[in-house]
Amino acid sequence: MGAQSNAAPIIIKKKRVSGGDGHHGGAWKVAYADFVTAMMAFFMLMWLLNATTEKQRKGLADYFSPTIPVNPVSGGGDGAFGGNNMFSEKTMVMDGSGASQKSPTVARQARGSVGVAADGGKKSAEDFSTLESQLLGRTGESMVSDKVLKHIVTRVTDEGLVVELFDTEDQPLFESGTDAPTAMMRALAVLVARSSDLVQNVIAIEGHVRASPVVLVHDPAWDLSTTRAQKVRQMLQDVGLAAKRVDRVTGHADRELMAKNPMAVRNNRIEVIFLRTP
């Protein structure tokens, strides 16, 4: 007889564990985090709307509104995606009208410029919001310096968009008592002339000066305000403003003051008015 083994049999138990039954995975955490983020953004939006004025909200809306293309000079052709190839416009540079020829056909007009109106990128005659944003440095690509912005105030009236260019205590726009423009006035003239391309309105230029501290037999305010307005007209035309867009040039002496003190330098100003169409 063979030897019998006293060793107990080995029994192996396999325990099956189903993962995720306790907390059902972590997907709910991602959804909850998205919900909390959305709620936080919503309450921040509500707070900002309540903490800002109507003018500030309008400025924020203008900043994010794609009213004009980033670069008005664009190419394009009649290909599947608006262009034959990357060199399709090398024979004639675009002049900002969104077309590849001076007299383009509909099929040859460039496409894809966000916010361009049907009249070739020109804003309507009564819509001054884009022009205001450009002059006040609200556009994202604006290169207007803070020093220049200190001399500009705009307001919309029944007559049109009034752009005030005025003296400050430390920076006049003209040499004292003359119509000789300073470097700041020349910089402002370039800004106004280039921004004027955004609209087609005709322009009025008005000169204003502060009151004289003494009563003179011959008041120079009339001649000085008129000659300064004429100088601004010439500067605007020299940097690109079409002469036919100038409707009138007038001098108002010290008859229309902006500051309570008649002799304040704030009264020395040039008003460029983009007139509404009749």
Residue 244 in any domain: the answer is yes
Residue 127 in any domain: the answer is yes
Residue 258 in any domain: the answer is yes
Residue 84 in any domain: the answer is no
CB of 251 within 8 A of CB of 222? yes
Look up residue 71 and give its two tokens: 């670069």
CB of 227 within 8 A of CB of 217? no
Residue 77 in any domain: the answer is no
Residue 204 in any domain: the answer is yes
**Full residue range of the structural domain in which residue 186 is found:** 123-278
Residue 103 in any domain: the answer is no
Domains contained in the chain, number: 1
Give the number of other CB atoms < 10 A from CB of residue 185: 23
Per-residue pLDDT of the chain (278 residues; tens, 9 = 90+): 555 556 667 777 666 655 555 556 678 888 899 999 999 999 988 888 888 888 787 777 777 765 544 444 444 444 444 444 444 444 343 444 444 444 444 444 443 333 334 444 444 446 788 898 888 888 765 567 888 989 999 999 999 999 999 999 999 999 999 999 999 999 999 999 999 999 999 999 999 999 988 777 778 899 999 999 999 999 999 999 999 999 999 999 999 999 999 999 999 999 999 999 87
Give the CATH number of the domain where residue 211 resides: 3.30.1330.60
Residue 137 contacts by C-beta under 8 Å, 6 or more apart in sequence?
Answer: 144, 149
* Amino acid residing at 7: A
What span, in angstroms and rounded, lies between the C-alpha atoms of 75 and 55? 37
Residue 85 in any domain: the answer is no
Give the number of other CB atoms < 10 A from CB of residue 92: 11
